[in-house]
Amino acid sequence: MASRGKWSSQLGFILAAAGSAIGIGNIWRFPYMTGKYGGAVFLFVYLAAVVLLGLPVLIAEIAIGRATGKNPVGAFAELRPKSQWKLVGYMGVLAGMMILSYYSLISGWTLGYFFKTLAGSLKGATTSATPLIFDTFVRNFWLQAFLLAAFIFITGYIVSKGIAGGIEKACKVLMPVLVVIMLILLGRALTLPGAGKGLEFYLRPDFSKLSPRMIIDAMGQAFFSLSLGMGAMITYGSYLKKDESIPAGAAWVAALDTVTAVMAGFIIFPALAAFGMNPAGGHPLVFHILPVIFDQMPLGSIFGMLFFLLLGVAALASTVSLLEVVVAYCIDELKWSRGRSVLAAGSLSFLIGIPSVLSFGGVKFFQKLPLLNISFFEMMDFVWSTLALSVGALFICIFAGYVWKSAAALKEIGRGAEKFRHGWLWTISVKYLCPALILLTLFTLAIR
């Protein structure tokens, strides 16, 4: 069998899995969704979804991965031979490839903004200038296609180096630095005059804003942010050693991921309020406001450069996990070499990403799809990041609870975690609570 590896330690696993979880989902997607759905109420539904749905599914995925030591397709096939369950694995591999295509595009924006800051072209950026700068930037097809290709290329290079070598090393050093820079940004945002209004928007919920669409997006965001529902954590769990604790690892990953997202909100909303910008500004939100914050800080361009660079690195740790799902499948099931798998999956993702590039300018069709009235990019994001991951998570719960069976799953979960006393809670979650909540949310969306 081709080159599989193992994480060198529990910390290595936690940092790599947190690296997969923490990405532009936390710093770009979470704030714009929260802004779009009216602030605090989205934050609260999201936090509930992380605890009630995210954590149990995360534990289930890691356990499936470690029990089998396989990619999602191989894992389902091993635990339930000759059944259709491996289709869930196939869907995960497909989702990995699809998400990689547009996720890399947004990640490319962080590179673009790094170079913009380096070149000084964001100096003196005002709230009226940043939207224009952003628009001009995303409409430049060749630049966007180049950034997309560059991001997928760098991802492919790291994945081709194998597990502990590339991914683990990069995450160990760079993720903590990102958090430090975010703390500095947090200090600046919270001390801006007028920041209090933003805090109110972020923390005081208006429950009249609850809607089925909001709830499904919050649930999808919880799965997306924790990299769940498509087997990324099955794949990462497959490299975890047997004597290490799954529940402790999962709790750390969920906590680090959630703290980062919540922290991003504490930076973005006070700053938006201070500068009188609209929090419901949609997906460009953080690219509109961040340059303005940096401009208001001493050494702002240095912090700006570092921030966009490290956000790029955080995104890279996530794209690496997306590609790794597809590559692990090609290595294990198709018996391809790592290099060949990376080349094939990377190229295909790049091609699938092109219509998303065109969603931001140039071709009308992709900017507003007929009937749906949303762009191709928005359609992909909803279908794959929200729907596919929620459906994937639903199947993973049913599989762990009823097919593999919770007793067998708990045996795996208990290995290396002798002090874990909450197996019963996990069982109730994956067998009843999670399937019921996910089904109810999907059903409500369908009948509307």
First to last CA, the chain: 49
User: Pattern of binders to ligand PFF over 232-251, x per CB under 6 A?
Assistant: x-------------------
Report, in Å, the least distance between residue 70 CB and ligand PFF.
16
Is residue 32 within 8 A of residue 286, CB to CB? The reply is: yes
State yes or no: residue 279 binds ligand PFF (CB under 6 A). Answer: no
Options 44-52, 66-74, 209-217, 221-229: segment touching ligand PFF (CB under 6 A): 221-229
CA dihedral (325, 326, 328, 334) in degrees, to 10, reads 150
Spatial separation of the C-alpha atoms in residues 254 and 396, rounded to whole Å: 18
CA distance 204 to 36: 15
| Residue 227 near ligand PFF by CB under 6 A | yes
CA-to-CA distance for 400 and 101, rounded, in angstroms?
29
Positions in 414-443 near ligand PFF (CB under 6 A): none
- Chain positions 323 to 362 lying near ligand PFF, rule: CB under 6 A, are none
| Nearest C-alpha neighbor of 282 from the set 28, 32, 30 | 32
The interface region with ligand PFF, picked from 43-51, 153-161, 188-196, 226-234 by CB under 6 A, is: 226-234
Name the residue nearer to ligand PFF (CB basis): 99 or 357: 99
Sole binder of ligand PFF in the list 101, 104, 130, 225 (CB under 6 A): 225
Mark 9-38 with x for binding to ligand PFF (rule: CB under 6 A) and - for no binding. -----------xx-xxxx------------
Report the distance separating Cα 308 and Cα 319, nearest Å.
16
Among 224-232, 279-287, 303-311, 360-368, which window interacts with ligand PFF (CB under 6 A)? 224-232
Q: How many Å apart are CA 13 and CA 243, to the nearest integer? A: 13
CB nearest ligand PFF: which residue?
Answer: 25
245 CB-side CA count, 13 A: 12
CA dist., res. 160 & res. 416, Å (int): 30
Q: Which is nearer to ligand PFF, 261 or 331 (CB)?
A: 261
Q: How far is the CB of 186 from ligand PFF (least distance, A)?
A: 19
- 68 in contact with ligand PFF (CB under 6 A): no
- Quote the least distance from Cβ 24 to ligand PFF, whole Å: 5
Instruction: Report, in Å, the least distance between residue 241 CB and ligand PFF.
Output: 22
Euclidean distance between CA atoms 287 and 130, whole angstroms: 8
230 binds ligand PFF (CB under 6 A): yes
Pick the binder of ligand PFF from 34, 321, 349, 427 (CB under 6 A): 321
Please state, in angstroms and rounded to a whole number, the distance separating the CA atoms of residues 447 and 403. 29
Query: Rounded to an integer, what distance in angstroms lies between the CA atom of residue 90 and that of residue 37?
Result: 32
Which parts of this chain interact with ligand PFF (CB under 6 A)? 20-21, 23-26, 99, 224-225, 227, 230, 232, 318, 321-322
